[in-house]
Chains A and B, each alone.
Chain A
Amino acid sequence: MPEITIISGKGGTGKTSLTAAFAHLAQNHVICDLDVDAPDLHLLLDPEHEKAEEFYSGHTAVIDRELCTNCGQCLELCRFTAIAQGPEGPTVDPIACEGCKVCVHFCPAQAINWLEDHCGRWYISRTRFGPMVHAQLFPGEENSGKLVALLRERARAITQEGNLDLILSDGAPGLGCPVISSLSGTDLAVIVTEPTPSGVHDLDRVADLCAHFRIPAGVLINKWDLNADQSQAIERLCLKKGLNLVGKLPFDPAFTQAMVQRMVITEFQSEGLADEVKAVWRRIQDLAGLRAAA
C-alpha cells in the first residue's frame, strides 16, 4: 500500500493543517503523526486512545558515589564532555550524556550505573477520519528517529490487518534523523513550502534529501500570494529538479480560524479554499498512483 509523507524542511509552512485536511479527504487509510518531537496533528483530529505504550530507548550513565574511587578515568574517556569533576567526585550531566557506555565499561571500580531512558509514549487511536498512530517524545529526550520507525512499523501492521489502502503521515521539520526516518521507504514525499527566502532555501535542501534517498517528491506552495516572484522561483526550482508541483494555495487566515475551532479546513469551509485543497489532494493521489488504481 502506498505511503504518502508530508514534510516541509522549514517549519510553519502549513504541513500539519494540510495533512489534517488530507486525512479528512482520504479513504480507507491510517493516519500517522511522525513529528514525535512537537506533534500537533492530534489537536485537530482529537484521537481517542485505544492503546498506549511506553517508549524506552537509549541509556544514561549515573555514577554511584559510594563505589567511585575518584580515579578520573571516566573524565578522560568521555568524548561528549558529559562528565565533570564536582566537589564530591565526577558527575554525569544527563543532558550531555550520549549513552555510549564507554565510561561504564572502563570504570575500574564498576561504579557507573547504566539506566535505560524512558523517552516517550506512543498511541494507537481512533479518530473521526480513521485510525491514527502517534506519539509524544518526552520534552528534551532523544532517539526520535527510532520512535518514528516504530510508528511506521505499527502503521504498516494496521494497514495490513485492516486491508487499508494508504498510510498518510505528517513528517517533522528539518533534515535530520526524524526526517530521514520518516522518509525511508515512503512512496511519495509531499514538500509543503512557502514563497519566502527561507521556504525556497529549505525546499531546495529537503528536495536534495529526497533525491539522496531516491524518494519521489511533489511540491505544494502554500501562501503563494505572499510573494508572486518567489512563487515563480519555486516553480522554476521544481522544473530544474524534476519535482512535481501539486498545487498552490493562498495565504488565508481561515486555516487558523479552523484550527481554533479544532476543525480541518475542509470541514470548516464547504467551498473556496476547501475546493482548492481538494484539487491539490486529487493531484497528490494521482502522483501516488492511488486514483489510477481505484
Chain B
Amino acid sequence: MIVAVASGKGGTGKTTVAASLTKVWAGPVQAVDMDVEEPNLHLFLKPELTGRETARLPVPLADQAKCTACRACAEICQFKAITVLAGYVMTFPDMCHGCGGCTAVCPEGAITEDYRELGEVLWGRSGEIDFLMGRLRIGEAMSPPLMRAVWQRVDRIGDVIVDAPPGVSCPAIAAVWPADVILLVSEPTPFGFHDLKLARAAFAPLDKPMGVVVNRAGLGDEALYEYCRETDLPILLEIPFDRRIAEAYAQGLVIAEARPEYRQGFLDLAGRVRDLAGRVRDLAAAPLLEARHA
C-alpha cells in the first residue's frame, strides 16, 4: 500500500504526520520524501544514507555543422528550448522538458542528447525504516522529472509512506498519483480550510480514497469541520494545538515518540488509513468527530 501525506497549504504538519505514521507503522515500511524542493523528512527520521545517484534529464545537443537551419526542431519544441536564429541553431537546456521531439524530428541527425542535472536521489535506513528522498538542484525549476526518478527507486516490498510537497499543481500531483490513499493534513484556520478544498479538488480526478488529519485542532474556527461533515470527508485524526508539540518539532523530534500521549492517536490513524485503503467506509473516525462537536 502507498499512503501519500499531502496538504495544499504548506506548514500544516505533513512531515510531522509522515514521520510519526512511519514510526508507528506495523510491518516493513519505506518512508519517501517527495517534497524534493524542500525535503525535511530526513531531519526527523535521521536516516543513515547509504546510497545516492544524480538524476538527469536529456536535453538537446545540436551539431552546427550538420544543421541546415530548417527550423523543424524550433517548430516542434513547445518549451522554447531550441530555436534557429540567423541560420544558427541555439539551445536553452534549462527550458527543456526532455521530450526528445527535436532529436526525433531533425532530418539531418544533427541533434543528439546531452543531460541536465535535476538533483539527487538519496536512500538509506533509519532503524527498521527504509528511507528514500529526492533533493532538487538549486536553480532547477522542474521538480516532477526528479520525482519520477525517485518513484523509480521506490521498492514495493512493504508499505510506502510518501511526504508530498505542498500546493495543488503538478509537483503535488506527481507525488500522489501512484498512491492508494491520500491523507490531507490541514489546520482549522481560514487558510488551512481554503487550501484543503483546493487539494481535494485537485486530487479528486485521481479517484482515490482521501481522509483528513486536522492539526492544531482548537485553533481557528469550525468551518473545516462543518465542510468535512457535510461532504463526507472523514477526519482520521485530530492533533490538538499544543505549544509543546511545536517545541518538540522545533527540536527535530518525532511527536509519536517525544510525546507518548499522542502515540496512540497515530496508531489509530494507521488503522484508519488501512481501512480507508480497503475502501471500507471509515466509521471509526465518526465518534471522534462527534465527541468534540457534540
**Interface residue ranges, A against B (CB under 8 Å):** 8-13, 16, 37-38, 40, 43, 58-59, 77, 79-80, 95-96, 98-102, 105-106, 137, 139-142, 144-145, 172-180, 194-198, 201-202, 205-206, 208-209, 212-213, 223, 226-227, 230, 251, 253, 256, 259-260, 262
Q: Please, which residues of chain A bring their CB within 8 A of the CB of B251?
A: 227
Contact B43 A197 (CB under 8 A): yes
Query: When the two chains form their complex, are residues B15 and A79 in contact, meaning their CB atoms are under 8 A apart?
Result: no
* Stretch of B84-92, B122-130, B162-170, B258-266 at the chain-chain interface: B162-170
* Bound CA span A43–B194, Å: 9
A100 adjacent to B10 (CB under 8 Å): no
| Cα–Cα, bound, A95→B173 (Å) | 8
B65: which A residues are within 8 A, CB to CB? none
With A105-B76, A227-B251: A177-B141 Cβ-Cβ less than 8 Å: yes
Pairs of residues from A and B, 8 with the lowest C-beta to C-beta distance, nearest first: A12-B11, A11-B10, A139-B202, A100-B99, A227-B250, A174-B37, A198-B40, A140-B202
B28 at the interface (CB under 8 A from A): no
Contact B78 A101 (CB under 8 A): yes
The answer to whether A43 and B191 have CB atoms under 8 Å apart is yes
Stretch at the interface among B100-108, B232-240, B268-276, B280-288: B100-108
State A206–B101 Cα separation when bound (angstroms): 33
User: In whole Å, how far is B53's beta carbon from the nearest beta carbon of chain A?
Assistant: 19
Chain B residues with Cβ below 8 Å from A101 are 76, 78, 101
Are A38 and B99 in contact, CB atoms less than 8 angstroms apart?
Answer: no
Given known contacts A139-B202, A175-B136, A145 and B252 CB-to-CB distance under 8 angstroms: no
In the complex, what residues of A have CB within 8 A of residue B206's CB? 95
**Interface flag for B180 (CB, 8 Å):** no
CB distance from B222 to the nearest CB of A (A): 10
Given A102-B99, A102-B104, also A259-B138 (CB < 8 A): no
Partner of A251, one of B105, B169, B246: B246
Do A262 and B11 touch across chains, with their CB atoms under 8 A apart?
Answer: no
Decide if B167 touches A95 in the complex (CB within 8 Å): no
Chain B's nearest CB lies how many Å from the CB of A80?
7
B40 touches A262 (CB 8 A): no
Separation in Å of the A1 CB from the closest CB of chain B?
26
Q: B10 near A10 (CB under 8 angstroms)?
A: yes
A-B contact pairs, 5 of them (CB 8 A): A12-B10, A180-B141, A197-B250, A206-B38, A262-B190
The yes or no answer to B208 lying at the interface (CB within 8 A) is no
Choose from B37, B38, B97, B168 the contact partner of A100 (Cβ within 8 Å).
B97
CB distance from A110 to the nearest CB of B (A): 15
Kindly supply a per-residue 1/0 record for chain B positions 169-197, scoring 1 wherever the CB is within 8 Å of any chain A CB and 0 otherwise: 11101000100000000000111001100
- B10 A205 Cβ-Cβ under 8 A: no
B9 contacts the other chain (Cβ, under 8 Å)?
yes
- CA–CA, A106 and B205, complex, Å: 29
CA separation between A179 and B141, bound complex, in Å?
8
Q: Are A145 and B141 in contact (CB under 8 A)?
A: yes
Query: Are the CB atoms of B138 and A102 closer together than 8 Å?
Result: no
